[in-house]
Amino acid sequence: MTFMTYLVLTLIEHFKGQRSVYAVLHLLNGKRSSQTIQDGFLFAVHPFFGVLKSLSRSRIEAIYAALLQQGYVIQNEKDRVEVTARGQRALREHRDRFWLSPHLSGWYSDEIAQLFWQRLSLLVQSVSHLMYHDNRFIPVINAPAVHTWLKSFLHHYRREHLAKALLSELEQLCQRLDEREALLLVHKMSGKHLSGLTFLQLAEALAHDEAEMQINFQATLHHIVNELREQGELFPILKQLIVAADKKALTASTYQTLLLLKQGKTIPDIAKERRLKCSTIQDHIVEIAFFDPAFPVTQYVPKTTYEAICEALKHVKTRRLADIKRQLPDAIDYFHIRLVLTREKGGD
Amino acid sequence: MLEDQLRRYFGFTTFRPGQREVITDVVARHDVFAMLPTGSGKSLCYLLAGYQLQGLVVIVSPLLSLMEDQVQHIRLYGEKRVAALNSFLPYEERQSVLQQLKALRFLFVSPEMLQSRQLLERLQEVNVVLFTVDEAHCVSQWGYEFRPDYLKLADVRRQLGAPPCLALTATADQRVREDIIDKLKMSDCHQHIYSVDRKNIALKVEAVQGTLEKQDRLIELVSMLQGPGIIYFSTREWTEEGAALIHQYTDLRVAAYHGGMANEERRLIQNQFLNDEIDVVCCTNAFGMGVDKPNVRYVIHFHYPKHMNAYLQEIGRAGRDGRPSLAVVLYTESDHELPLYILQKEYPTEKQLEQVIAQYIKGQDKELVATIALDVGCSETAARFLQEHISWWAPEMDSQALKQRLLQRIQERIALKTKALWELQQWLKKDSCRRARLLTLYDERLETSPKCCCDHCGLQLADFSRQKTIPVSEVVMPWERRLRLLLDQKEGSYGKKD
């Protein structure tokens, strides 16, 4: 079994026979649809959100076909897929063979982590070359915004000092990481005479799968972002590479809704003004609630309703919204349930 | 004087053949047509001329990826006043380039961007001192890579106050050269034609029986030849398979490179190759446009390209340092079928054509043509073909006439490309001097054969056999050590070449 097969099987297992294999694809790709975002929390798979953006439809279909053929999964009614007893056994047997870092945090950290890595890798490459007074190298990162950032950043430091300080911070940081995470991080970095390795090269050298390297590298970055958020004062240089997530994370339309909400407008007001259906505005609000832990959900859900939903969540085994709703009075609608789900992760 | 600047800006002490002559003529404000072989430093011509002329140099470049590589290349020389404009750039970035136009020295631009009113107006406000047309063979309908948008360049140049024009190409026969000069309206044109022949590259072609034998032969060759080397394959899957084979059967450090890899990963491979951290790259033709590596010792074609121009371009990545290098093509009989199929996919089918015409309304934004074309299942190349031709012809034709005209054009293009493919295939089967035959295709004659000429002139592979041992490299090391190698000057001498 390859790591990818193991990963897909693991996620199918998480979805508890209630989603098709494409839910796995959308999750790993980080598709910003309300369905995928909601699923992330409903099935507690949000750490995997967007951690394999390069995964293609055809690739996952091939993996799925192989899983079906081996009898690890079966397709139940409505194209949904379920792990068989045989599949469960395979999962248990392979659990120790694969590396899946517990620090994966796709939903909360992915975007910041990507930018952090772009900045860090360009910074290390530049400092490494500057030590030799060499400014002719092909930058590993092409994005103009990152170059602009680096230029102004370097402006504040003397180069001899920067190399020393950066080295010492990175050493400290690596000590806080797992050994394998530290190894991945430094081998992705490039410098003078020493280019970073591709995931494939790392996989070959460490006898792992390419996807295993990719995902655990993401996890390493998530781990780092978390460390820097909590212990920023220990890393005066590195913490500057972290930026607050801005509202870009929301889709443009949702962001419009957010602006109007901030002006104190109600859902019907906004729907009318934007010529959208109320249900669309509700979708937006659920999306915002997922993104912003501080968003006041209780403004939209009466206290008693909130409590009733929490109570129902304890009893409902499935993650199907319809099943949850059936447990509740008719007056409580899906919008309420979805909003509560952004805060309460349900059973398990 | 010119030499001083050559040293100051680029760190070179001597010009390569043709550069000085071209620059001198450009600086004297003549229109110049220059055909310089690949690897001869064409870009240096407009760069150095630009420093002499004191103003903005506009460079028209046909491909997005090429443009990015060119910009990067110039930045490597420490020149930051360079930018690229194309329609794929996000709106904000495009605006930001337009804002700083006055501060720029070199502007790369796609031909279709030059149709933008806004850009033209901004360019009219600055002092454009040189109008460079790179890959100028795209101007000619007789050329392999004809792009209709290139035909509008003469008019654009006029609107910019008719600055001198420098047309550059690596490969063009007599007919294409004349066509370029005519279509670009280069009236007072000085021509500098240099041979396409790269004398330090020996040519070899081997026919093998079937794919398995080809793979075996590939392993034999890479095992014995002195690297670094580049191996070209026709598909992404094959680059990976090739790299896996070499990894398994040799001690060489090898990697695959293709357009399907993430950008960042591609750059790592490219840098590793430039740094001599890997010996062999197995790649598609996506590799190499921006790679100026002097010491590539061989290029092997595991699959041959679609035409002679591409072949010359690709083998031209060998031996840029002037030292003896080798180009080998391996082919089987079955290799002859695939290119024709790929070639046809570059154009829309009649049905797709009808669908696009039916959905496209005259006067609509031409970007839409490509979108519609992709929707009905055209390849990207086919979509671009339709976009350029429809915006060119649609204003003056009804849809029936448009369809007929397009069909006719497609037939012409396919015929021309089939002929080019056939020429290459004939060349592979040739039993006399390959160099002489190749030159006749470009209306040249072989005056003197180099010592290592081709497999029909007594080429000895042993002359290219491996001299140096492959360094044993420590791929993965403890993180403490790698960090120090990267950032600690005392440790950093690791891997430094002597």
**Each residue's pLDDT tens digit, A163-172:** 999 999 999 9
Q: Is residue A13 part of a domain?
A: yes
Whether residues A176 and A201 fall in one domain:
yes
Contact yes or no for B487 and A127 at CB 8 A: yes
Residues B346-372 have pLDDT tens digits of: 899 999 999 888 888 766 777 788 888
Any CB–CB contact under 8 A between B247 and chain A? yes
Contact yes or no for A205 and B476 at CB 8 A: yes
Beta strands in B175-289 (DSSP E): 189-193, 201-207, 229-232, 254-257, 280-283
In the numeric block, which tokens belong to residue A36?
């995928």
Whether residues A219 and A139 fall in one domain:
yes
How does residue B491 score in pLDDT terms, banded at 50, 70 and 90?
low
Q: Is residue A101 part of a domain?
A: no
* Model confidence at A247: pLDDT above 50: no
Alpha carbon distance A50, A29 (integer Å): 5
Lowest-confidence segment of A179-188, A241-250, A337-346 by average pLDDT: A241-250
Q: HEC string of B93-137? A: HHHHHHHCHHHCCEEEECCCHHHCHHHHHHHHHCCEEEEEECCHH
Cβ neighbours of B262 in A, within 8 Å: 54
- Tell me, what CATH number does A48's domain have? 1.10.10.10
Cβ neighbours of B72 in A, within 8 Å: 138-139, 142
- Which residue of chain A is at minimal alpha-carbon distance from B257? A198
* A193 phi-psi bin (left φ>0, alpha ψ -120 to 50, beta other): left
Cβ neighbours of B483 in A, within 8 Å: 167, 170-171, 174, 186
Contact yes or no for A140 and B483 at CB 8 A: no
Cβ neighbours of A157 in B, within 8 Å: none
Cβ neighbours of A187 in B, within 8 Å: 476, 479, 482
Contact yes or no for B479 and A128 at CB 8 A: no
Question: How confident is the model at residue B308, as a pLDDT?
Answer: 92
Any CB–CB contact under 8 A between B244 and chain A? no
Q: How far is A138 from chain B (nearest CA, A)?
A: 7
Q: Is residue A124 part of a domain?
A: yes
> How, if at all, do strands B298-301 and B325-331 pair?
parallel
In this structure, which amino acid lies at residue B369? V
Whether residues A229 and A323 fall in one domain:
no
How many Cα atoms are found within 13 Å in the side-chain-facing hemisphere of B317?
28
ipTM above 0.90, yes or no: no
A167 → closest Cβ in B255, B264, B483: B483
- pTM, two decimal places: 0.82
Q: Is residue A116 part of a domain?
A: yes
Whether residues A73 and A53 fall in one domain:
yes
Cβ neighbours of B71 in A, within 8 Å: none
Among A150, A195, A224, most B C-beta atoms within 10 A, so best to mutate, is A195
Q: Is residue A77 part of a domain?
A: yes
Question: How confident is the model at residue A252, as a pLDDT?
Answer: 74
Whether residues A116 and A197 fall in one domain:
yes
Whether residues A189 and A230 fall in one domain:
yes
Q: How far is A344 from chain B (nearest CA, A)?
A: 37
Any CB–CB contact under 8 A between B484 and chain A? yes
Q: Is residue A189 part of a domain?
A: yes
Whether residues A229 and A255 fall in one domain:
no
* Model confidence at A346: pLDDT above 60: no
Question: How confident is the model at residue B66, as a pLDDT?
Answer: 80
- Which residue of chain A is at minimal alpha-carbon distance from B255? A201
Q: How far is B290 from chain A (nearest CA, A)?
A: 10
Any CB–CB contact under 8 A between B224 and chain A? no
* Model confidence at A245: pLDDT above 70: no
Q: How many domains is chain A partitioned into structurally?
A: 4
Whether residues A239 and A110 fall in one domain:
yes
Whether residues A228 and A145 fall in one domain:
yes
Segments forming the whole domain that contains residue A221: 106-243
Any CB–CB contact under 8 A between B79 and chain A? no
Query: In the predicted model, what is the mean pLDDT of residues A168-180?
Result: 96
Domain end among A94, A116, A140: A94
Q: Considering only CA atoms, which of B62, B63, B56 is closest in space to residue B83?
A: B56
Cβ neighbours of B247 in A, within 8 Å: 204
Any CB–CB contact under 8 A between B274 and chain A? yes
Query: In the predicted model, what is the mean pLDDT of residues A275-303?
Result: 85
Q: Is residue A100 part of a domain?
A: no
Whether residues A230 and A280 fall in one domain:
no
Q: How far is B269 from chain A (nearest CA, A)?
A: 7
Question: How confident is the model at residue B495, as a pLDDT?
Answer: 44
Whether residues A47 and A166 fall in one domain:
no
Domain end among A59, A94, A129: A94
Whether residues A138 and A235 fall in one domain:
yes
Q: Is residue A99 part of a domain?
A: no
